[in-house]
Structure formats: C-alpha cells, structure tokens
C-alpha cells in the first residue's frame, strides 16, 4: 500500500480564504457568534488537513441559505448600520462596497461614511488611507481584502474596534496597533497579500465634531 494514500490533503490558501469569507457572511447574518467565528478561523488557518475545512463547511454552511424577503405587511424596518465608534457617528444607509484599484495613485476615505461588509482594494505603487473613526459599519464584521505591491496602507480605527490581521506579507513592514473589542462594536478583518509594501493600523480617538479644527475644515 502506498503510504502517501493515507496522508491528509494540504489545504490551499485559497481554500482557507474562501471558507473564512463564507463564515464572515454567517456572522453578518446573525447565524454565527463572534467567539465561535474566532475559534473556527484559528482552526481554518492552522490545520494542515483539507478534510477539516470540508467538515467545517459541511457543519456550518451546507444548510445555509439567505433569508427570503418577508411580506411587506409584517416586514420589520431595515437594520441601521452600527457606528464604528461606540457611541458616536450618525447613522446612514449602507452602501454596497465596490472593488477599488489604483496604480501610482491615492485612495482615501475619511469622515462620515459606511464601511461595507466586504471591500477589495488592488494597489500598485499607490497609497490607501482609510479612517474609520467617524464611519458606520454595515455588518458586525467588515472585511478588507487588500492586494498590494510597492504600496502604503494606513488604516485608523477608534478604540474598541478590534483588527484581525490575516494578510500574507512578503518583503513588507506590518504594524498593527489594536485594542480589546468593546461589546457591540464592529470588528475589522484584513485579508489578501502585500509585497514590498507598508501596512500601518493605528487606534485613535475620533476628533470632536464641534472643535475649532472641525469648524475650520467644515466637517
């Protein structure tokens, strides 16, 4: 008997990333708790047996289907997005995230905006700046997939928003400054890969909206 026949199959990074993305959608749909999500992600990224991933998918995702819309006469009002800062920013309706790409350019999001459940950024020799301190979250877990080469990425979050780094880095510098999550606060998950780039995540208090600086800047 060939001994290699009994060896477990090695999971691909693509298999791990896809399963984590599917589990993230379960959290956003309220079908999976944060604690269980964290435990499963640890297993997904530590196991060397693809059969483990298949068993997780069979247990948690086989019977999952998006909820069908309810009749309008008994329909509940739509859920409002949750402010990143707890409490803080005004509520706005969520906006579906669109893939953003830049070559030798700049992508910048600040102020009051809605962070989609999933966002993708493709950068080549570019700068990405995301300030979440006055933003709202469209889901309990917001995932940023970043594919970058020779680029600079800066993400600013308010205290209480936990940032989980799942990015694969090659010849890059990574600095993650995060805090313990506050109850009810959204989480940020970073996925993707960066090469020859710099990733810097900092935690800062949101500037007061009635400050002199805010009034001068019209924010």
- Residue 68's pLDDT band, with cuts at 50, 70 and 90, is very low
Cα–Cα distance, 156 to 199 (Å, whole number): 11
Cα distances from 69 to residues 74, 79, 140, in angstroms, run: 11, 14, 21
Q: Compute φ and ψ for 162, nearest 5 degrees.
A: -80, 140
pLDDT score of 19 more than 90: no
> CA-CA distance, 156 to 131, in Å (whole number)?
5
CA–CA separation, 109 vs 185, rounded Å?
20
Q: What is the pLDDT of residue 5?
A: 59
Give Cα 213 distance to the centre of its chain: 30
CA dihedral 140, 145, 150, 152 (to 10 degrees): -10
Report residue 75's pLDDT band, with 50, 70 and 90 as the boundaries: very low
Q: What confidence tens digit (pLDDT) does each residue in 27-64 have?
A: 767 777 767 877 888 888 888 898 988 998 888 887 65
pLDDT greater than 70 at residue 141: yes
For 184-205, the pLDDT digits (tens) are: 889 999 999 999 999 999 999 9
- The span from the CA of 160 to the CA of 188, in Å, is 11
Q: Which helix (H) or strand (E) holds 149?
A: strand 141-149
Greater pLDDT, 165 or 2:
165
pLDDT for position 155: 97
At 79 the pLDDT is 54
């Amino acid at each position: 008997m060939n001994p290699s026949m009994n060896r477990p199959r090695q999971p691909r990074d693509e298999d791990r990333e896809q399963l984590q993305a599917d589990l993230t959608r379960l959290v956003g749909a309220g079908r999976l708790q944060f604690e269980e999500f964290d435990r499963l992600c640890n297993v997904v990224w530590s196991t060397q047996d693809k059969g483990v991933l298949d068993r997780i998918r069979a247990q948690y995702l086989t019977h999952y289907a998006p909820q069908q819309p309810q009749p309008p006469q008994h329909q509940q009002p739509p859920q409002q997005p949750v402010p990143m800062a707890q409490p803080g920013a005004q509520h706005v309706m969520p906006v579906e995230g669109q893939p953003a790409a830049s070559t030798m350019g700049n992508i910048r999001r600040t102020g009051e905006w809605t962070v989609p459940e999933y966002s993708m950024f493709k950068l080549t020799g570019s700068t990405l700046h995301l300030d979440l301190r006055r933003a709202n979250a469209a889901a309990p877990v917001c995932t940023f997939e970043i594919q970058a080469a020779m680029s600079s990425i800066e993400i600013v979050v308010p205290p209480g928003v936990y940032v989980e780094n799942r990015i694969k880095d090659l010849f890059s510098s990574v600095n993650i400054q995060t805090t313990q999550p506050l109850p009810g606060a959204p989480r940020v998950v970073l996925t993707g890969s960066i090469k020859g780039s710099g990733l810097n995540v900092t935690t800062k208090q949101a500037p007061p909206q009635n400050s002199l600086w805010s009034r001068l800047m019209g924010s």
